[in-house]
Structure 1
Amino acid sequence: MSRTSPVIPGFGLTLGYTLVYLSLLVLIPLGALFIKSTELTWDQFIAVITAPRVIAALKLSFGAALAAALLNGVIGTLLAWVLVRYRFPGRKIIEAMIDLPFALPTAVAGIALTALYAPSGLVGRFATELGFKIAYAPLGIALALTFVTLPFVVRTLQPVLADIPREVEEAAACLGAKPLQIARHVLLPALLPAWLTGFALAFARGVGEYGSVIFIAGNMPGKTEILPLLIMVKLDQYDYAGATAIGVLMLLVSFALLLVINLLQRRLARA
């Protein structure tokens, strides 16, 4: 008995285009990055990536990106829920505001946030009176990353929420389930894989963000200096090998974290 191949017609051609496209845009540039880093010996490479200034920038970049992604995981979920489940005046305006970070140049966002949260700004003035500062501090960096990465979580969760039938929630309520039980046993299992995807996208964007951060960070070495800025400093000093080493470090750490998140997402999806 003959079996029909499950492969759709044109698979070889489309796969070839896909591999060529990914190679030109992703694999070859990343391969060049690793090749450039081989100009350093292993001891020199370790010395670059373990320098106190690099370690401080690494902690700040990944810590602020993680904090922003977690905050957006909460705020973005609430926004997606409101936009999907309710109809109210001004809803379209809120939809457009959520997409604004996609269209707004990141430098413009950085200038606007700095003007607002600087010690002389409208909000920063009150923060200074209370004994803390937002701009030129890690808190300001986290807020800038939160602004930039919010759409990734909201737009990832919205289609999933829209596909969950309300009848399922109503049936659970008719069976005596309380709102918290409905959220935990009905909504959370369906939303968690998509939530992890949005979290991973927001985290990855936050780690590499540059334009919106450099204005509000203050760029003090060892305190408010992020890794992308440190790479630019190395390039300005014509230390291309050092900049490449830091880029490889960012790539490896980001890849490891995203791999863990994707594995967790796949396990949850199977469950």
Structure 2
Amino acid sequence: MNRRRSIIPGFGISMGITITILSIVVLIPLCSLVVFSAKLSFSEFVYTVTRPRVLSGYFVSISTAFIASIVNVIMGLILAWILVRYDFKGKKFIDGIIELPFALPTAVAGISLTHLTTTNGWVGQIFYNLFGIQIAYTRIGITVALIFIGIPFVVRSVQPVLEKIDIQYEEAAFILGADAKTTFRKVIFPEILPAIISGFTLAFARSIGEYGSVVFIAGNTPYETEIAPLLIMSELQEYDYSAATSIALVMLGISVVILSVNAIVQARVSKRVNGLA
């Protein structure tokens, strides 16, 4: 029986290279969290990760990340739709600038957003004078920073799927009497739903662990605007590596749960969509 010739090396070599890369880049750093956390007893570990200030940090990080990800889904879907369905001047520029948060250092983004949203900044001054809303040094400011760094994940997840949708399906729906809303809800939305979920999850997971762009605009008030990554840095500055890695281990667990739920939901949604197709 003839086997297909592969361009890349055989399975054994390829798998060995893959495991080596994963071990160096991912597994070894993650295992170090467990090793440092193991220096604490179970009761000490539980006490460290459940202190009121730490729990408040979890809540601030998760709640602001969730709100920012919801906003990113709405804004990202609109941006992806415009970029795919319309032709206009400056389209390539907008398409390219969406990825700016990937390339821009997070500290630069944080400083820029802080200057814009303080009560003396261009944007912050308008909101404060007209509505009495302070953006910088509040949870609103944290959410704004997380929206900035999370929007590319949604756009780049939804955009390729929209590009692959055949326009003939929409034309067939219109011919059969469906209006625009029904066509979007019955034809387009089921196709892009897995991509929306993926974009939301990636933005959510990224936002939970964000530090550089948030630390400047947050104000870092304990129990109010102090995020979990800042608590980790505070413990490191005090050379309490066990406490820092314990909090980091909890954050890692939260991220693993989020990504696992995403994989399960993606599989179920894709199965349901394929079943309807």
The answer (yes or no) to whether the contact 2:205–2:258 under 8 Å persists in 1 is no
Sort the Cα spacing of 1:52 and 1:171 in 2 relative to 1 into closer, same or farther, 3 A.
Answer: same
Q: Residue by residue, what CA displacement relative to the aligned partner does 1:61-115 show, whole Å, maximum 9, x if unpaired? A: 1111111111111100110010011100111121122111111111111111111
Partner Cα separation in structure 2 for residue 100 and residue 112 of structure 1:
13
Q: Which residue of 2 aligns with 1:201?
A: 202
Partner Cα separation in structure 2 for residue 209 and residue 7 of structure 1:
44
Whether 1:60 aligns to 2:60 is: yes
Q: CA deviation at 1:149?
A: 1.0
Partner Cα separation in structure 2 for residue 7 and residue 238 of structure 1:
54
Q: CA deviation at 1:126?
A: 2.5
Q: Which residue of 1 aligns with 2:107?
A: 107
TM-score by length of 1: 0.95
Q: CA deviation at 1:132?
A: 2.2
Q: Residue by residue, what CA displacement relative to the aligned partner does 1:106-150 show, whole Å, maximum 9, x if unpaired? A: 111111111111111122123223222111000100110100111
**Alignment size in residue pairs:** 269
Unaligned runs of 5+ in 2: 273-277
Whether 1:89 aligns to 2:89 is: yes
Report runs of 4+ in structure 1 exceeding 3 Å deviation: 4-9
Q: Which residue of 1 aligns with 2:233?
A: 232
Unaligned runs of 5+ in 1: none
Task: Map 1:40-189 to 2 at 5 A.
Answer: 40-129=40-129, 130-189=131-190
Stretch moving more, 235-244 or 197-206: 197-206
Q: CA deviation at 1:196?
A: 1.1
- RMSD of aligned residue pairs (Cα, Å): 1.5
Q: Which residue of 2 aligns with 1:264?
A: 265
TM-score by length of 2: 0.93
Partner Cα separation in structure 1 for residue 94 and residue 105 of structure 2:
19
Sort the Cα spacing of 1:266 and 1:226 in 2 relative to 1 into closer, same or farther, 3 A.
Answer: same
% identity of equivalent residues: 48
Matched residue of 2:98: which SS?
Answer: helix
Partner Cα separation in structure 1 for residue 251 and residue 156 of structure 2:
26
Q: CA deviation at 1:190?
A: 0.8
Sort the Cα spacing of 1:262 and 1:211 in 2 relative to 1 into closer, same or farther, 3 A.
Answer: same
Q: CA deviation at 1:165?
A: 0.8
Partner Cα separation in structure 1 for residue 46 and residue 3 of structure 2:
51
Whether 1:22 aligns to 2:22 is: yes
Partner Cα separation in structure 2 for residue 232 and residue 24 of structure 1:
23
